[in-house]
């Protein structure tokens, strides 16, 4: 089980710039075709977006931090089974209201932009000045808090992004889903972000967890310095 951004591919200024190399696609293809292994990507991106970025047969894909699960197609070009985890969530109009508040703030200050994932809204500030980022994020929280409290939502803070999502949705529930799907498997999870700590926590004492990127306080058992090192690790799993 692997995160995508910052784990499989280096972080990019905008998500659309973070694309897999041909080498990585071939590696994931070989791993997912190995009958003794199962490979899942668990990301904050939408599951359909992951499917477009990683056109690899036999991959399991989990999007929106565990909200969505896409099973591999049973036949070439066939449909994928899609599963939703967690509570129903708010009406679509609530997401539209949160998106509008985020876009209004992002339009004022350079370096901010909004990612609409339909069942979560992310305000990115990777290219913003630190002082402006802090003030704008605080304003975003104040303006959206009534909706967050009224509709059982929550804030998720990541690498220079703050996201509003359904309360109780996190990568740990996707990990549990895959553990139940393959109860005899030995679970391994690699991730780089604070959002991956829920997966590390879920697997504590039950599998192997690896933090990728800069060292920081973490629940992970081990450490790899970069996505390039992750590629080397995955290559060893083929041997």
Domain ranges of the chain: 15-86+170-237, 92-166
CA distances to 53, 91, 95, 99, 231 from 58, rounded to whole Å, are 14, 33, 32, 34, 19
Q: What is the DSSP letter of 192?
A: -
> Which pLDDT does position 109 carry in this prediction?
85
Question: With respect to CATH, is domain 92-166 assigned 3.30.70.1020?
Answer: yes
- 60 close to 52: Cβ distance less than 8 angstroms: no
> Which pLDDT does position 133 carry in this prediction?
86
- 196 close to 209: Cβ distance less than 8 angstroms: no
For the chain, how far is it from start to end, CA to CA, in angstroms?
18
Tokens for 232?
Answer: 């080397």
Tokens for 51?
Answer: 């499917």
- 231 close to 9: Cβ distance less than 8 angstroms: no
User: In DSSP terms, which residues pair with 158 in a beta bridge?
Assistant: 161
Tens-digit pLDDT string for the chain (239 aa): 999 999 999 988 777 788 999 999 999 999 999 999 999 999 999 999 999 999 998 999 999 999 999 999 887 778 899 999 999 889 989 999 999 999 999 998 888 999 999 899 999 998 888 888 889 999 999 999 999 999 999 999 888 899 999 999 999 999 999 999 999 999 999 999 999 999 999 999 999 999 999 999 999 999 999 999 999 999 999 88
SS3 37: coil
> Which pLDDT does position 79 carry in this prediction?
87
CA distance 220 to 199: 9
> Which pLDDT does position 31 carry in this prediction?
96
Tell me which H or E stretch contains 182.
none
> Which pLDDT does position 74 carry in this prediction?
80
Summarize pLDDT for 22-59 with one digit per residue, the tens.
Answer: 999 999 999 999 999 999 999 999 999 999 999 998 99
Q: Is the pTM of this model over 0.85?
A: yes
Sign of the four-CA dihedral 27, 214, 16, 37: positive
**Beta-strand runs (E) in 76-185:** 82-84, 113-116, 121-124, 153-158, 161-166
> How far is C-alpha 93 from the geometric centre of its chain's CA atoms?
24
> How much of the chain is helix, strand and coil, in % rounded to 5?
40, 20, 40
CA distance 196 to 65: 9
How big is the chain by its Cα radius of gyration, in Å?
Answer: 18
Question: With respect to CATH, is domain 15-86+170-237 assigned 3.30.360.10?
Answer: no
> Which pLDDT does position 160 carry in this prediction?
86
> Which pLDDT does position 53 carry in this prediction?
96
């Amino acid at each position: 089980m692997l995160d995508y951004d910052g784990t499989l591919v280096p972080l990019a200024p905008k998500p659309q710039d973070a694309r897999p190399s041909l080498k990585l696609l071939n590696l994931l293809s070989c791993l997912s075709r190995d009958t003794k292994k199962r490979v899942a990507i668990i990301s904050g991106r939408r599951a359909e977006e992951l499917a477009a970025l990683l056109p690899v047969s036999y991959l399991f894909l989990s999007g929106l931090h565990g909200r969505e699960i896409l099973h591999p197609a049973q036949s070439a070009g066939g449909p994928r089974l899609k599963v939703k985890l967690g509570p129903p969530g708010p009406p679509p109009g609530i997401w539209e209201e949160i998106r509008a508040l985020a876009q209004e703030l992002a339009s004022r200050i350079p370096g901010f932009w909004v990612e609409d994932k339909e069942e979560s809204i992310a305000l990115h500030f990777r290219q913003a000045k630190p002082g402006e980022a802090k003030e704008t994020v605080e304003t975003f929280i104040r303006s959206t808090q009534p909706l967050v409290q009224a509709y059982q939502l929550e804030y998720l803070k990541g690498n220079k992004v703050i996201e509003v999502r359904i309360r109780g949705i996190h990568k740990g529930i996707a990990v549990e889903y895959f553990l139940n799907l393959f109860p005899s498997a030995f679970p391994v999870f690699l991730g780089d972000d604070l959002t991956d700590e829920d997966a590390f926590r879920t697997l504590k004492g039950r599998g192997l967890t690896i933090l990728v990127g800069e060292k920081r306080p973490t629940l992970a058992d081990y450490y790899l310095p970069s996505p390039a090192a992750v590629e080397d690790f995955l290559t060893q799993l083929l041997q």
